[in-house]
Structure 1
């Protein structure tokens, strides 16, 4: 109930979220005293000057002047001190369990102290085993697990395209219930992916009803972000309404030029439901392009050809007969496969890297086809022949004006849809390194779309309230000491589509569970993160 009240206050009125003030523990001195701080506390109210006293992993006092002595004093020198950022939509369970990436530095270096994992239906229900593994390894940020519908369905039904039997539904319910009892924050779905796409709304409603027992969140990558966006939104609302749970729409977007106008109607629909009493939020990443991949990866060839190398693809596309066979399968799709082109035509793809054709960067395939008087497939095929797998596209293209409109909604948060990145990974989206920093640099400092206070609230208090996380997301007595210190005018997000492996800069210090982990803009090798359970 507290979660629902707090969330309603935030998204319905834009008002201040009040935290619980606790009596300080017995002590004779603080561990850390931060002075001369420009505090932006997460509530959205204007910044104020204060001192912050930390003992152990807790904020003990926030006051104009603290008289108690401290083991260490840090002069913030007028810089912003904000709650550590909370990214509500990540796939950091991919990487947090690996030695090379358990530090989650691409998040930590931009001030993100907590990441929600298990999104898009991918999260394991075995929270205990996952926690044990991360605890042994040590992690660089906090992690909050969701349970994935895809994981549940695959454990019980494999990849079958059918409704579950009564016994199979019971098995999925038992797995979900146990996961929630072990600390999962809710249920996630990815309804564009196999096998989750085979489930109807009734199947998901039946599972989502279990969330009421633990006040869990239903977080959905909807069934469509393209041509059926509005229908998919109505389905998501119906699932949450009939299950009696709160809803978060993952990485909110209208993908493809012909679908861009639908965003205004979607937002109107959600605002109407919120006015009528539903608790609905959404997250978004601050980029107008989504997942990146070599252009050749969206082409489909007859399986008999067994094309594996880029040179084999190029040879096949040069042959007229084989080219037509690839065209047919690519544009009509393959049963049981991922069919990017068949799903919505060439409407979605834009070029982010073309070493031999730099003039094409930023252009959409459909626009190039019109300009060159070719079919979109022939444009793509010719570019693969010319560029090989160096030609990189974005699988989704959004409208910048829509992004600005979305982020102004009081119920929309910022996220990354990223993971714990290995610096050797290829095809990495810059959002993995720069989402939170980009909000501050581009949409606060440069474009003035949001105030800094409002932007920080969307990265701290609002995601905490959505999750039901009661001791983080605010700078307030009794809350955990997850803090970030920075000069907003110096924050930069240098990662690009062509050069993505670049840490955000301008984040001077990050304190995680009371432990300084980033000092003077550098990670100091301390893994102070925790798996946070509901």
Structure 2
């Protein structure tokens, strides 16, 4: 009797179980008929990519598995989500208005690396926690900003750190690595990075090396002293044990055009000696930064803006400063190649070059530059690189693609267009239209290569078990639309973007999903981090 009663429930129970098992047997998503580039630089294959629970479950050319959502990707390219090794999105990814990172998602970016050029968030653990409170549009990995640490401990002074100050910075580096930083960055044209001795950088980088972190550097000079600056970075890597990464590699200044091959040779010589040296690049002939470090010598900037103003009021020091600034202006057509992006003291200057402003005011480019730095300073765009050098650099297999921009919304300002167009420009313009590099090379420069450089083991490639960071684009339509005159335009051709398996762009429209998370580097358990003596 009891058996009979129980049997009444067995049939319905088995039916429910079969439904559950059947449902679990389906993947969340399958992209079918796609042209697949897996991030390795290999030739593409036509097939499917299956995703379930935020992970890639299968990649193949046979019969695709069943899925809850099937997207016909015939005629479209599917590849890993792009990894931007060089952003300044530290504030943006925790901003209530900009953390969705739409300008990056519309380029196909799924991961942003922050803390670059030695600047950014100092407290790594707290920063990661802020990101994970509600998520972000992209994943975020952070580098220790050496300049921020030094400013906190030493200030903006041109002097060596004391033993006590150096130990304090060591402790901060150790804690940051424990909290999941992926390495340390420097900005050696900016204060206070410019005042940091090489030996101090080696000392701190040794602690980074203990956790297999990288040393990423905006090197001391990207103009006439480019080669010594690269050699310094290589030395820091060699003596500390860190892999070296040169940020936004370039040869700037008209007198230095054509020198990119020398920088390439220097790096490749180090690589032949089994040293890990890589670089990244944004595919434009213009750079963007602040006016002061571009024109005014480092020694004159010690102590900050007020001290610079004091030195400009000193006849002897002012003459020395002006001589150096005049020399730099001569290398950029007397300021004709420098355009003001933003200047709070003189808003009307926005969109104009220094030479034009000077002519309009019956002044000189030197006087206008001095006037600006005595005020608020200014953000600038400088057309300082040659197209041929840009093309030569991007052909190297160790050069990743990176924007050197930040998460932003379209506005009335006129920033560098790289914040809206870097990746589609590299793939759509240089690879597909100009055929400067093969498409598989361009895709690898934005996926597998940056993953290898920073040390990701779970993303950057389309392989089973990897995080489902995926971009789907139309090769016939992929192109950047942002220009220097109209920089606030989203790129075209990105059809879908998935971040950790969740759709962030669907049929060319951002969904508003905050599927990105903080990517914390795992600490090596067997390594005991001890301060360098």
Report TM bin, short chain: 0.7 to 0.9
Determine whether 1:270 maps to 2:267: yes
Q: Is the 8 A contact 2:338 2:383 kept in 1?
A: no
Q: Can you give the 5+ residue segments of structure 1 that lack an aligned partner in the other structure?
A: 1-25, 301-323, 355-361
The alpha-carbon deviation at position 327 of structure 1 amounts to 12
Corresponding position of 2:488: 501
Structure 1 distance, partners of 2:120, 2:263, is 27
Could you tell me which of 417, 434, 437 is aligned with 2:421?
A: 434
Corresponding position of 1:93: 90
Moved more, 112-121 or 261-270: 261-270
Determine whether 1:529 maps to 2:528: no
Count of aligned positions: 468
Structure 1 distance, partners of 2:50, 2:207, is 40
Alignment RMSD (CA, Å): 3.4
Corresponding position of 1:23: none
Could you tell me which of 470, 479, 487 is aligned with 1:492?
A: 479
Q: Is the 8 A contact 1:346 1:365 kept in 2?
A: no
Q: For residues 29-428 of structure 1, what are the structure 2 equivalents within 5 Å?
A: 29-66=26-63, 68-291=65-288, 332-333=320-321, 341=325, 344-348=328-332, 349-351=335-337, 378=364, 394-424=381-411, 426-428=413-415
The alpha-carbon deviation at position 138 of structure 1 amounts to 2.5
TM, length-normalised to structure 2: 0.81
Determine whether 1:452 maps to 2:436: no
SS at match of 2:129: helix
Q: Is the 8 A contact 2:54 2:502 kept in 1?
A: yes
The alpha-carbon deviation at position 367 of structure 1 amounts to 13
Q: Is the 8 A contact 1:353 1:497 kept in 2?
A: no
Structure 2 distance, partners of 1:92, 1:401, is 30
The alpha-carbon deviation at position 424 of structure 1 amounts to 2.9
TM, length-normalised to structure 1: 0.80
SS at match of 2:472: strand
Q: Is the 8 A contact 2:337 2:384 kept in 1?
A: no
**Alpha carbons of structure 1 residues 382 and 56: separation in structure 2 relative to 1, 3 Å:** closer
What's the CA shift string for 1:173-203, capped at 9, x where partnerless? 1110110011000000001111111111000
Q: Can you give the 5+ residue segments of structure 2 that lack an aligned partner in the other structure?
A: 1-22, 298-311, 341-350, 522-533
What's the CA shift string for 1:120-139, capped at 9, x where partnerless? 01132311111121222421
**Alpha carbons of structure 1 residues 490 and 175: separation in structure 2 relative to 1, 3 Å:** same
Q: Is the 8 A contact 1:331 1:342 kept in 2?
A: no
Q: Is the 8 A contact 1:347 1:366 kept in 2?
A: no
Moved more, 127-136 or 517-526: 127-136
Moved more, 286-295 or 116-125: 286-295
What's the CA shift string for 1:335-394, capped at 9, x where partnerless? xxxx9936833313444779xxxxxxx99989999xx9xxx9736769999xxx9x9963
SS at match of 1:154: helix
